[in-house]
Structures are given as structure tokens and as C-alpha cells.
Amino acid sequence: MDLTGKTALVTGSSRNIGRATAVRLAEAGADVGVTARSDADGCEETARLVRETGSEAAVALADIGDPDAVRSMVEELRDRLGPIDVLVNNATYRPSKPFLDVETEDLDRVLAVNFRGVFQTTQAVVPDMIDRGGGAVVNLIGAMVYLGKHGHAHSYGSKLGIEGQVRQLATELGPDGVRVNGVSPGLIDVDRTRTEEWERIEREVIESTPLGRLGDVEEVADACCFLASDAASFVTGQVLHVNGGTYPIPTLVPDR
């Protein structure tokens, strides 16, 4: 999985899976653009870890729900690191709200970030890839999108549209040498608020997973790196489920 001479952009890379992916791509030789909506300190820490591998890093903050911010972010990182060969769309917005309480503005925001933001970030970098004879896009989706979870009809519903982008863009951009794939992590051991509901879900996932444990961020990062590299040169239009075999889990609806 050699990415020497490549430039990668990882959205939502100030912590957790995004940070691990940025560092893994750097370990494979890529220079990495690090971005998040507002976590400047987290992005700078990720950039520090990237530079420790010997690769270059640049930070640009942007709300990917804002089309102008997306364009400015990509232009800044391109100016500092060069044309972008690899895009990992990791940034996401997952608010929880009962279906009947979701307002138009709630729906607009999740669509702006989770669907339009991914779409327009990809639009902004694909010309570089075409000019350079090819590239790779990796979109993060998530197991709960497929399993269903109470209170997330709008946020997880919007993320399922990312799989549609994977399949459609793989077909449209394939002739230009651009591969588009998805990674759908299962329940991963990351920093999160430890609510009673999450404790219950975590127990049920572990009990229902053939591998009998949560995943690590590094395991997701490895999958992203594989799909970004020439090791996956004949892989496009696919979603790789990094979930320990957790399907299906019919009991994740919280007690009511």
C-alpha cells in the first residue's frame, strides 16, 4: 500500500477514525491535508502525527456544509501540498431526534453536510485526479446506517445516500481512472460520550459480533488506505464493511 508521491485529503480528521486514517496514509507515503469544521487544536495534533512519519501536512478548517468553504479549503490545501490524488470523505453529522419531531431545518443541515458536502468536496478534487490520470475517493458510511437506530431517520438516512454516490460515481468516473469506494465501520472504540444507551448498544454489538469485540480506529484506517492505494487498483463501486461480521442486529432500538 504505497502512496509515495501522492497527496491525500481527509475530512473530519481532527480525531478518531479521521486522525487514524490521516496518519495511516502518511505512513504509506502520502502528504495529507487535515481538516475539520472547527477543531483547530485537534487538526494540529493530527498534522503533528503526520509529520512524525516523514510526510508533509497542512491544516485548513471548513464546514463542508458550506459550498464556499469547501472550495476555499480545497484551494488552500492544493496550494500548500499540490494536486489531490486521494480523498477520504470522513466528516459527518449525526444528530438524534425522533422522526416526527424533525423540522425542515434539521433535515436541511444533515443533507448539507452528509450528502451535499461529500458530493461537493468530491467535485472539488476530482479534476486534479483526472488531470493526473486517476485517483481514489473513499467515503465513510457506518454500520448503524444499515442497521437502523431510533432517532436517526434524517441523519443516517442522509448518509445512506453516500452509497448511491459510490455506485454512481464509480461508473461515471471509472473511464478517467478515478476509483470510488466506501468503508462502513461497525462499532469502533473511539472517544464518545458514555451514555447508558451506548453502554447497552456496545454490549449487544459485542455479543452479536462473531469476532466478539469492538473495532479499532487503526483497522478502519487500514481499510481506507487499501482502497486508496494501487493494491485496490481493480476495486471500485464497492462498500467494504469493517464490522467484525455484526449483521444483522435487530435489538438496537432503545428501551421506550
Determine whether 247 is an active site residue: no
Confidence band of 247 (pLDDT split at 50, 70, 90): low
Which grid cell sits at 231? 493494491
pLDDT averaged over the chain?
Answer: 91
For a pLDDT cut of 70, what percent of the chain falls above it? 95
Residues in the chain: 256
- Of 93, 146, 156, 247, which is the active-site residue? 156
Residue 218 lies in a domain: yes
Number of domains into which the chain is organized: 1
| CATH code: domain of residue 196 | 3.40.50.720
pLDDT exceeds cutoff 60 at 253: no
Confidence band of 134 (pLDDT split at 50, 70, 90): very high
Residue 255 lies in a domain: no
**Across 58-68, average pLDDT:** 96
**Across 183-207, average pLDDT:** 80
Residue 130 lies in a domain: yes
- CB-CB contact of 160 with 218 (8 Å): no
Residue 59 lies in a domain: yes
Q: What is the pLDDT of residue 159?
A: 87
Listed residue (53, 55, 60) closest to 14, CA to CA = 60
Question: Per residue in 142-159, pLDDT tens?
Answer: 887 877 778 888 888 888
The amino acid occupying position 115 is F
Residue 143 lies in a domain: yes
Confidence band of 206 (pLDDT split at 50, 70, 90): confident
DSSP string, 137-158: EEEE--HHHHH--TT-TTHHHH
Domain that holds residue 112: 7-242
Task: Give the least confident one: 8-17, 24-33, 148-157, 237-246.
Answer: 148-157
- Listed in order, strand segments (DSSP E) in 143-248 are 178-185, 239-242
Q: What is the pLDDT of residue 242?
A: 94
Residue 1 lies in a domain: no
Question: Per residue in 122-132, pLDDT tens?
Answer: 999 999 999 99
**Whether the predicted model's global pTM rises above the 0.95 cut:** no
Q: What is the pLDDT of residue 3?
A: 98
Helix 217-228 crosses helix 16-27 at what angle (to 10 degrees)?
50
Beta-carbon contacts of 246 under 8 Å, excluding residues fewer than 6 positions away, are: 143, 147, 186, 187, 205, 208, 209, 210
Residue 250 lies in a domain: no
Q: What is the pLDDT of residue 251?
A: 44
Residue 202 lies in a domain: yes
Q: What is the pLDDT of residue 193?
A: 60
